[in-house]
Structures are given as structure tokens and as C-alpha cells.
Amino acid sequence: MTIQRTILLIFLLILIFIVAQFGITKSATVQNAEPGLDEKIGELIRIGFRGFEVDDNSPVVRDIKAKRIGGVILFDYDVALQSPRRNVESPEQVKALVESLENYAETPLLVLVDQEGGRVARLKERHGFYPTVSARYLGEVDHMDTTAFYASRTAKTLRELGINVNIAPVVDVNVNPDNPVIGGIERSFSSDTLKVTEHAREFILQHRNQNVITVLKHFPGHGSSTEDSHLGLTDVTDTWIESELYPYQKLIEEGHADKIMTAHVYNANLDPDYPATLSRNVITGILREQLGFDGVIISDDMNMKAITDHYGFEQAIKLALNAGVDVLAFGNNLIYDPDIAIKAHRIIKNLVESGEIPEERIDESYNRVMKLKSRLN
């Protein structure tokens, strides 16, 4: 081999090495690149949508592909249309729907459903799912093996369908048995705070066994209300008692709180100006600082009349995020807007760019959400 050929060979080997290293470095940079503001905001939005199946033309698919949302909420009934045709038809159909949604997502989705049992169960027996029992039934039976049986069966069903978040258990204390949205429809385990905590803990443990996230609700307590926040302002100033915080406090201390959902209840003793979802005093002051919760806080449905009748869309979003809420839920069911994710995303981005919501606030929430999502992987 001549000296010239040897030099040429060495040069080519060095060139190949440099190109290979550049490629690896570039690839690693892309994979580890910090997500932009648009993607971070998208992870803070959850929406409901219409359809037993989806395709490239579905608004929700458009939002998933654009990274405008980080998860979806499934319903069995379309309130706006007063129709039983929404997202749930059969176990096979729901599983196929969830798989289709995930196939469109670059980042795994959080797929949420309210499957408390009893009156609030989106996966009903008439659609081919197991029958369920109410929280009150479990509290009255008061045997942990019974609670474990029903919670385990629910969690296994969700896992098999690909649903990874159950918006349950309800840890509202049954202060007012005639409460039209909690006690009156058997959603509370008990008026005894210890029983509420014990049954909620078992419910959570059975879901964790199936790698399904749970959501404690409705903070700081909806059990004493006399009105339904779906229908309008719910004032608990004269009925709320501090012991309603106990289940949250205990489950947070034990490390059993995955996510916590806010309540759209107004309590002048906790905040003279805003309902809990929009209150920094309640969300940051009590839940974060007093009770020490550093997990994901999700709002109750921002389309409920307790919010929409008193606050503008942009104002409510701004107040909730600045209060410390991490994820905004738009059920998109009481009213329906196929562009709700686009509008919410645009508003949040504008508020950040104008300085009305600090970008650090978005970062905090994004990091909490991604930490929770990493548990599912």
C-alpha cells in the first residue's frame, strides 16, 4: 500500500468517525431536547370529545397530533345532546378507541374516566361491563375485603381497556346526607372521616396494583354542600367543617395521593373572593403548603356552571393556573365545542407571553404531570 493510499484511508476513517459522532450527538440532542412552551401547555389540558371511534379527521386527533392536549376524558352520555351515544358502547369498542387515540400520540396520553361505582360509572352493565356498587354501600358493609374486591375488579377492567386514570375515589365526608350531588346519590363512603380514609386507601391500593392512577375528590370538601356545582354557585361557608380535610391530610401523609381534584365550592372563611378551584388561598395555601401535597392537582370540569356563570373563559383559566392548579379539565359535555382545546391552549400561551401567568408556573405543572406519566411507563 502506498503512502498516499494509507493517508487517504486514515482520512476517510477519521471522516467516518466524525460523521458518526455528529449523528449520535444530534440524535441524542433531539431526543433530550427541552420541550417548547406549546408542548408544555398541552400537557396541562384534558378534554372530552365525541365519538365511539376516531380517525384523522376527528377534532380530538387533530389536538393530539398538535400536542395541544395531554389526555382525554371518556363519557357514556352526551349531556349537550341528551343522548346516550358518546364514547362508550361496549368493552371491545372502548378498548379499540383508546388504542386508536394512543396510536396518534407521540407522548403517552392520560385517559381518564369517572368509574366510582353506583350512580357515577361511565362503564355500565348495560354496555357489557361488570355491575358496580356505590361508595355508600361499601361504607355500610364496612369490610375491606368487599371494598378490595370491587376496587380490584374495576381497576383490572380499566387496565385491560387501556384507561390509566380513574377519577375516583370520592373522599368527601357525608356531612349532609341530602346533598344532591354527593350524599343524596351515595357517592360518599361515610360521615365518619376514618371510614372514608380507610375505604379510599383500599380503593387506591387496588388500582395501584393494576398501575391505574387515582384521583381524590373534591378538595377541600363537597360533602356538606346543599347545592350542585354543575348547576351554579355552591356556597359551603356555613356548612363546611375542617374535619373534611382529614382524608386528604392522612392519605397525603401516607403517600397514597396520586392526583387531587378541586371542587368549585365557595367558602368565605377560606377565601372571601373565589371558589376553591380559582383560589390561591385554598390550592396553594392549604393543599400545597398546609397539607404538603406536591402531586398533580386537576380542576373539576371548567365547563360547570359554578365557573361559567360567574367567570369568563380566559379569566377562569388565568385564576386557576395562578392559584396552583396543574391540569385544566374541560369535559366538553355540558356544552360542546370541537375547538375547545385550541381556544384554551391559545389563551394560556397568550397569558404566559403577556406575563399574566409566569412561565415558571407552567414549568412546575408540566414537571409534575410528566413525573406522574413516567410512573405508567
Domains of the chain, by residue range, sit at 42-375
Cell of 296: 398533580
Q: Which of 76, 258, 300, 326 is catalytic?
A: 300
CB 10 within 8 A of CB 1: no
Q: Answer yes or no: is pLDDT of 39 > 70.
A: yes
The reply to whether 218 belongs to the active site is: no
Least confident of 156-165, 198-207, 226-235, 335-344: 226-235
How does DSSP classify residue 209?
Answer: H
Closest CA to 142 of 64, 88, 91, 194: 194
| CATH class, range 42-375 | alpha beta
| 201-226: average pLDDT | 96
Listing DSSP states for 297-348 in one string gives EEPSPTTSHHHHTTS-HHHHHHHHHHHT--BEEE---SS--TTHHHHHHHHH
Q: Which of 199, 207, 222, 230 is catalytic?
A: 230
What confidence tens digit (pLDDT) does each residue in 77-90 have? 999 999 999 999 99
Q: Answer yes or no: is pLDDT of 30 > 50.
A: no
| Residue written as grid cell 371518556 | 74
What confidence tens digit (pLDDT) does each residue in 91-146 have? 999 999 999 999 999 999 999 999 999 999 999 999 999 999 999 999 999 999 99
The reply to whether 345 belongs to the active site is: no
Q: What is the pTM of this model?
A: 0.90
pLDDT score, position 51: 98
CA distances from 90 to 55, 104, 133, 178, 312 (A): 19, 22, 20, 33, 37
